[in-house]
């Protein structure tokens, strides 16, 4: 597998979001925990702020890096 693929910001954002969804699903199915609607909204708001800040700072999308396409480390 190409090592450059693992250095892609978008890949890591996607992997983290999928892992969090899996943890939420497993918690719900096993009955260990269940997120309330209010807690889901709070988590979504915090995530939006963090990702917005990272995008604004050019960390997720860095168009100034040569030959990167904007998403590579």
Distance from C-alpha of 17 to C-alpha of 14, rounded to nearest angstrom: 5
Per-residue burial over 49-71, b if 16 or more Cβ lie within 10 Å, else e, is: eeeeeeeeeeebbeeeeeebeeb
pLDDT number for residue 30: 92
Mean pLDDT, the chain, rounded, equals: 78
* Interior angle at CA 27, CA 22 and CA 32, nearest 5: 165
* Model pLDDT for residues 9-47, shown as the tens digit of each residue: 777 888 888 998 898 889 889 988 888 889 889 988 998
pLDDT interval class at 53 (50, 70, 90): confident
């Amino acid at each position: 597998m190409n090592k450059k693929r693992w250095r892609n910001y978008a890949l890591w954002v996607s992997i983290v979001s999928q892992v969090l969804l899996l943890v939420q699903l497993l918690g719900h199915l096993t009955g260990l925990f269940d997120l309330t609607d209010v807690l889901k909204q709070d988590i979504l708001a915090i995530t939006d702020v963090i990702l917005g800040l990272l995008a604004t700072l050019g960390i997720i999308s860095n168009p100034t890096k040569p030959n990167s396409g904007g998403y590579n480390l």
